[in-house]
A = this chain, B = another copy of it.
């Protein structure tokens, strides 16, 4: 591609994207600048259908979720859940639990520890298991807090979400932090 054309293209394309110049190798990468929390639960015909139905219940079932480990980029701002483009590739950190034990209560939760210094990253933790959502949420919040302590970051606040499901035949609980630009 001629350099002139490449520049012309760039002019129009990347206005709102948060760019990080990476001196050592000269490339430009984009880092998500928005996030929101979601949770969902449901039954399904099979374990994967239950998982899929929980994603739909959470409002992100029609996108391509790519699981990642689990950082909130610096200066990332919380937004309300948005209508993501159908089929888009979406980075998420999530917890999920599927169970076929009739009557069991299962829960999934995520927590984000946000540092006092906005130029530092936050930390996302995920936890799921048998148990009620209050219990799961308490654990996942303490996990996020511990991760901040370990990094030597001063904690500003913890945001979290958890959801529970009582299994009828094949149930799923799902909680996620969605990153977006």
Contacts and interface: CB of A to CB of B under 8 A. Distances in A.
Please tell me how many copies of the chain the complex holds. Answer: 3
Given A71-B63, A74-B87, A87-B31, A13 B24 contact: no
Interface string A112-133: 0000000011010111000000
Interface string A70-84: 111110100100110
Interface residues of A, number: 81
A180 B160 CA distance: 32
A53 B46 CA distance: 29
A31 B121 contact: no
Interface stretch (A3-11, A99-107, A161-169): A3-11
Interface string A7-24: 111111111110111101
B9 A86 contact: no
Contacts of A28: 1, 9-10, 13-14
Interface of A: 1-3, 5-17, 19-22, 24-29, 31-34, 44-46, 48-49, 51-53, 55-56, 61-74, 76, 79, 82-83, 85-89, 91, 93, 120-121, 123, 125-127, 139, 142-143, 146-147, 150-151, 179-181
11 contacts: A1-B12, A5-B13, A6-B14, A7-B10, A9-B9, A10-B11, A14-B26, A20-B88, A24-B82, A46-B127, A73-B86
